[in-house]
Amino acid sequence: MATPSPLTVEEWRAFLEEHNTNIFESAYVRAAVEEGTPAMSPERWEAGWAGAQPASEEAIVAVEERLGVRLPPSYRNFLKVSNGWEYVGPVDLFPLESIGWFTDLDEGLIEAWAGPEYFEEYLAVLKRCVLIGQDDGGSGCWWLLHVDGAGEDGECTAYDWWAGSGEVPERYDDFAALVRREAKTFL
């Protein structure tokens, strides 16, 4: 039986503590530090925690009001444990104050992909996604939440998109499933 994705604050705390340990014990991360090209900021490396301080409910609600949408429960609960995260695979998850509509934060990329016919259906979805994380200097990866597509449980589809690969965005049932897969893949 597959390990379920973290959803509650307690499940996120346990998941992130384990993932944090895996990051700091990772041969890849240790080699990067030794080479002087750490996979995370020196402050987080020295603190021994790839995460940030938790976000308050008030801060989450303020961002939801700014965006005009409710964030999915798995992402909200993640934020209550860590308001951002460095190194979930190649992606850094933004703190609340940095998330926003993908079209506002990277309009040029949306425009660049407006041409190919095979991409039309994805373009409509991407225009209604909130950008929550990005590869900061690699080959270009964006993590997105399609907040218009929330189910009865409040969860919405998440996407991992390597635009430079020429591929379409990879779909996940929810934010937690995306994080769990990427955490396993890149360590």
Say yes or no to pLDDT of 149 above 80. Answer: no
Supply the pLDDT for residue 82. Answer: 97
Task: Give the rounded distance of the alpha carbon of 98 from its chain centre.
Answer: 12
Q: Answer yes or no: is pLDDT of 66 > 90.
A: yes
For the record, the structure tokens of 65 come out as 């009001």
Write down the pLDDT at residue 136.
64
User: Could you report the per-residue pLDDT of 110-139, keeping only the tens digit for each?
Assistant: 777 877 777 888 888 888 999 999 986 666
The residue behind tokens 């490396």 is 45
% the chain with pLDDT above 70: 94
Write down the H helix ranges in 26-146.
Answer: 27-34, 42-47, 57-67, 73-81, 102-105, 107-112, 120-126
For residues 5 and 132, what is the distance between their CA atoms, to the nearest angstrom?
18
Task: Quickly state the pLDDT bin for 4 (edges 50, 70, 90).
Answer: low
Exposed (0-12), middle (13-18) or buried (19+): which is 171, by Cβ within 10 Å?
middle
| Rounded distance between C-alpha atoms, residue 145 and residue 46, angstroms | 31
Written as six digits, the tokens of 117 are 């016919």
